[in-house]
A and B are shown apart, each in its own frame.
Chain A
Amino acid sequence: MNLSIVDWLIMLVYFIFVLGIGFALKRYMRTSNDFFLAGRSIPAWVCGLAFISANLGAQEVIGMGASGAKYGINTSHFYWIGAVPAMIFVGIFMMPFYYGSKARSVPEYLRMRFDEKTRAVNAFSFAIMTVMSSGISMYAMALLIQTLGLFHGIIPDNYIFHVSVLLSAVIVLGYIFLGGLTSAIYNEVLQFFLIVAGFAPLVWIGLKNVGGWQGIRHTLPASMTHSWRGMAHANTNTLGVEWFGMAMGLGFVLSFGYWCTDFLVVQRAMAADSEESARRVPLIAAIPKMFFPFLVILPGLIAVSITPHAVSTQPAMVAGASSTAPLVDEHPHGIIPQKTNPLNGSPIVDSKGEPVYNYDLAIPVMLLHYFPTGILGLGLTALLASFMSGMAGNVTAFNTVWTYDIYQAYINKRATDAHYLWMGRMATIGGIVLSIGAAYAATNFNNIMDALQLVFSFVNAPLFATFLLGMFWKRTTGHGAFSGLIAGTLAALLHHGLTIPTDALPGIHGGWIAIVHHYPSDMAQNFWTAIFAFSANLIVTVAVSLVTTPRPESELVGLVYSLTPKPVEHHLSWYQKPTTLAWGVLGLLVILNLVFA
């Protein structure tokens, strides 16, 4: 890939601003509250944009583009069903407890509501998980830079990966070390606008090329252009999931478990300047979130809609019968390149001898296909920005949980605030070093990373039941919550061990105890694992809570729905109230689903 000086200049300007923000904010970092919670002084719209950007890391942008190319527009279920309803719920119902309880982190809320052991489980699993996700983000970024040959000709090819890892680590470390959470939030806002600025013209020019949405519908099979068609049964849609598994597993358990309990996103709302702002944060975030499928999923669809005659200026990448006929096959590939063996560069074929396509390159290939010098630099900047923000989000969540919920809770209880501020900075360094370790672990032991991520999905799956019961049922006890969490994780483990997706071998994909059920796809298995984990947690928590002594009600004021006064909204006009915003967002959501049904 040949980048010109203009492209480099655009990227350089961005990196100067990233670090510049850190330096500008340094003098405002006086207390640990400033560093970890941005002094609770950020306006709602800034937090709202940071709220979605923190989630919009490498896996998200690359992964959603890839799924768009692979499965079609029904990938948008991950946004419309799998995010927006949960964001409305956390804003309207849960934020008053997170923000109003003055908890400094989600694990700390668990300690206030339940007890020390429930907090400990959450804090430790969360801390390990964030470091790993940040490492995987780093790995994905370095791999992409290497695949695209971004530094090709500037530094020797075999150093590109190491230089990319080190460079991203140093930059992220720099701005968080200096400006803490505020710095991370500000950079996430920059990233948000860069993604829009970089991808909107891509979608526009791409749509122009393939004849608009009508053109895509004409070229691609109907299953890829309708988000709800064939959802009645797993075998009649590209995702391989039936509507119930999707609505319950993705739409309820997984989505609420992530958006309502994951400190990575909740931390952004906790930084807001008032409780009303904090409640508005996820709602504001939900509006752009609804339209993001058009920026990250649509490029994937366009990439596979580009018919061979549209790319006739380039040499045919793939030989085969399909290159002359219109796209009638099940999996059109458009301009998606074939996967190649990294060792000898030869194309990889599957067991039936058919080529395997590297869908992860959908978005990068689109950028290279349509963008001339200049705006290409902008597109790549947007991509890099999203990679780094994904990392930074994890690192800021890690340093807070480490300092408040592990260090202050178990190692050094009575230090000065200045000491905790120092610890936060050290934790930032530590978190980055561990991320680098995780990134290299991912290169060497791909299966170990997959296995670890699987284990963490088991820890996360049941989480939402604990929060739901804790916030809305005052009878829930600490023992109940703790045993429920453990039972939920065990249920997930058991379910995974007993089931397997069709056409997978027993092992990491499941079925390592015995095979009692086959799922049509790994996505269906994943959703049903979550449903089982959630249900087990719910049942065990309720059962144990009923036989243990609840805490006196006076201790639960501000932590449980029925014992907390409703937020006062008299001073707000009807249009300023969070509920009005929530109804508006819901209305838009229904319209979008109907349009693309």
Chain B
Amino acid sequence: MGLDIRIPLGLLFLINGGIMSIYGLITRHSAIYERSLGVNLNIGWGLLMFVFGLVMFLVGRRQKWQDDPVNPRPWERGGGQH
């Protein structure tokens, strides 16, 4: 169907993962991480999402969308009614 879902999916995770990583970098020693038991979730998880997005985006760009016609069923091949 023209558009490979992995492209928007990859981009979404690239952007949002990127935003979270950068924000996590800026707020490295901030008090906001008391909630998450001192773990900087933004930078760790953000980077992971960024990498996932990158992989999805690249794979989506590389592979062509499969637009094969629907396989006919055995009894439809001979009859030719459809």
Contacts and interface: CB of A to CB of B under 8 A. Distances in A.
B41 A372 contact: yes
A361 interface: no
B32 interface: yes
Interface in B22-71: 23-24, 27, 32-37, 39, 41-42, 45-46, 49, 66-68, 70-71
A166 B19 CA distance: 28
Contact of B11 (A17, A38, A201): A17
Contacts of B1: 25, 28, 34, 38-39, 41-42, 182
Contacts of A17: 8, 11-12
Given A25-B2, A42-B1, A193-B13, A209 B37 contact: yes
Nearest to A49: B5
B42 to A, nearest CB: 4
Nearest to A46: B5
A275 B73 contact: yes
A564 to B, nearest CB: 8
Contact of A13 (B15, B27, B36): B15
B66 A24 contact: no
B54 to A, nearest CB: 14
Nearest to B11: A17
B74 interface: yes
B8 A20 contact: yes
Nearest to A192: B9
Contacts of A372: 32-33, 35-36, 41-42
A13 B41 contact: no
Interface in A21-80: 21, 24-25, 27-28, 34, 38-43, 46
Contact of B16 (A13, A25, A373): A13
Contacts of B73: 100, 275, 558, 565
Contacts of B12: 13-14, 17, 190
Given A25-B1, A39-B1, A371 B36 contact: yes
Most buried by A among B19, B36, B45: B36
Nearest to A186: B5
B11 A10 contact: no
A10 B41 contact: no
A13 B74 contact: no
B74 A568 contact: yes
A117 B3 CA distance: 40
Interface residues of B, number: 37
B19 A21 contact: no
B4 to A, nearest CB: 9
Given A193-B13, A558-B75, A374 B20 contact: yes
B71 A274 contact: yes
Most buried by B among A40, A186, A208, A313: A186
Contacts of A14: 12, 16
Contacts of B32: 372-373
Contacts of B5: 46, 186, 189
A205 B45 CA distance: 12
B80 to A, nearest CB: 15
A40 B70 contact: yes
Nearest to A21: B8
Q: How large is the interface on A (under 10, 10 to 19, 20 to 34, 35 or more residues)?
A: 35 or more
A273 interface: yes
Interface in A328-382: 369-375, 378, 381
A197 interface: yes
B2 A6 contact: no
A557 interface: yes
A492 to B, nearest CB: 37
A369 B46 CA distance: 19
Contacts of A316: none
Contacts of B11: 17
Contacts of A451: none
A313 B37 CA distance: 12
B22 to A, nearest CB: 9
A39 B68 CA distance: 11
A552 to B, nearest CB: 16
A9 interface: yes
Nearest to A185: B5
A373 B33 CA distance: 9
A491 B33 CA distance: 57
A273 B74 CA distance: 17
Interface string A532-560: 00000000000000000000000001100
Contact of A10 (B3, B9, B19, B68): B19
Contacts of A205: 36-37, 39, 41
A39 B20 CA distance: 37
B20 A378 contact: yes
Contacts of A274: 68, 70-71
A320 to B, nearest CB: 25
Most buried by B among A41, A193, A372, A557: A372
Contacts of B45: 197, 201, 375, 378
A471 to B, nearest CB: 16
Contacts of B8: 17, 20-21, 24, 186, 190
Given A190-B9, A193-B9, A375-B20, A41 B67 contact: yes
A118 to B, nearest CB: 24
Contacts of B74: 565, 568
A373 B34 CA distance: 11
A304 to B, nearest CB: 19
B34 A43 contact: no
Given A273-B67, A565-B73, 4 more contacts: A10-B16, A21-B8, A28-B1, A41-B1
27 contacts: A10-B19, A25-B1, A41-B67, A42-B1, A100-B73, A182-B1, A189-B5, A190-B8, A190-B9, A193-B9, A201-B45, A273-B68, A273-B70, A275-B70, A275-B71, A372-B33, A372-B42, A374-B23, A374-B42, A374-B46, A375-B20, A375-B41, A375-B45, A381-B16, A558-B73, A558-B75, A565-B75
Would you list the 4 A-B pairs with minimal beta carbon distance, nearest first?
A: A372-B32, A374-B42, A374-B23, A375-B41
